Chains A and B, each alone.
Chain A
């Protein structure tokens, strides 16, 4: 499965949102109704799924779906 599709699947599952809502520029807090705890959970889910570690200061930069995909790519996730 492509990285984008996998990420969107995790987001749909974690936040209970539809595929249509998961556009790349969608903001977790403003568009997808997430709170800070949701984002932490989402990040932990990404860490588990992709076997990576995300530091707290990196976490602050992640606001949209595209941010998370770009971030995972910089970590070498394919």
Chain B
């Protein structure tokens, strides 16, 4: 995701919570592309930690142009089997985490009368999926949050949008059995799973000048799987 935003003059903070290796690789690639950046490590579900991290970033760089909320976990199960602790964990990271980060940057963006927030929702947040009720609730919640913030912050020239990816080639989908994957591909008009770059391209567009008049939208990047 970060790679499509990297360009000479850009500075990206890559937050991670668990996978430091992946975060380091992303940062190395950002630098290859002429951008610069830094790693930071905080749990988006921790309200206080997010506030402190954002304060530090603003103190270091002076401003934040764009916030991308892509931290998320995918866990679930059929509703009769879901433990309360799992519900809390998914909602805390995926939904509250997005809220925490949005809240931490908005005051700063309001002052500057400028800013972009891009929240990563999901096809499942719109369409639902059996066995994914928790995840769907969180990702659907992100859509409501996005639209409300777009209304609250529009007068300050802050654009808030959500992207809703479909099935994307990630560690999660790599674990699917080959047969299941083939069946899924048949359901997708474009006949393949999406790549992380497909999503990153959309996010980079929403962060760019070209998207200055787009706010409160949920933009799907799913190969036509859900229309």
Interface residues of A (CB under 8 A from B): 35, 37, 41, 44
Q: Interface code B147-187, partner A: CB below 8 Å = 1, 0 otherwise? A: 00000110110000000000000000000000000000000
A44 contacts B107, CB within 8 Å? yes
Chain B nearest CB, measured from A6 CB (Å): 20
A-B contacts at CB below 8 angstroms, number:
10
Chain B interface mostly: helix
Chain B nearest CB, measured from A56 CB (Å): 15
User: How far does the alpha carbon of A44 sit from the alpha carbon of B111 in the complex, in Å?
Assistant: 12
Chain B nearest CB, measured from A60 CB (Å): 17
Collect the chain A residues with CB atoms within 8 Å of residue B156's CB: 37
Tally chain B residues at the interface, Cβ within 8 Å: 7
B155 contacts A41, CB within 8 Å? no
Collect the chain B residues with CB atoms within 8 Å of residue A44's CB: 107
Collect the chain A residues with CB atoms within 8 Å of residue B111's CB: 41
Q: Interface code B106-141, partner A: CB below 8 Å = 1, 0 otherwise? A: 010011000000000000000000000000000000
9 smallest CB-CB distances across A and B, nearest first, come from A41-B110, A35-B155, A37-B155, A37-B110, A37-B156, A44-B107, A37-B152, A41-B107, A41-B111
User: How far does the alpha carbon of A44 sit from the alpha carbon of B156 in the complex, in Å?
Assistant: 17
User: How far does the alpha carbon of A35 sit from the alpha carbon of B156 in the complex, in Å?
Assistant: 11
A-B contact sample (7 more), CB < 8 A, given A37-B110, A37-B153, A41-B111: A35-B155, A37-B152, A37-B155, A37-B156, A41-B107, A41-B110, A44-B107
Chain B nearest CB, measured from A9 CB (Å): 17
Chain B nearest CB, measured from A21 CB (Å): 21
User: How far does the alpha carbon of A41 sit from the alpha carbon of B112 in the complex, in Å?
Assistant: 12
User: How far does the alpha carbon of A35 sit from the alpha carbon of B151 in the complex, in Å?
Assistant: 13
User: How far does the alpha carbon of A41 sit from the alpha carbon of B155 in the complex, in Å?
Assistant: 14
Collect the chain B residues with CB atoms within 8 Å of residue A37's CB: 110, 152-153, 155-156
Chain A nearest CB, measured from B150 CB (Å): 13
Collect the chain A residues with CB atoms within 8 Å of residue B107's CB: 41, 44
Q: What would be 5 A-B contacts, judged by CB atoms less than 8 Å apart?
A: A37-B153, A41-B107, A41-B110, A41-B111, A44-B107
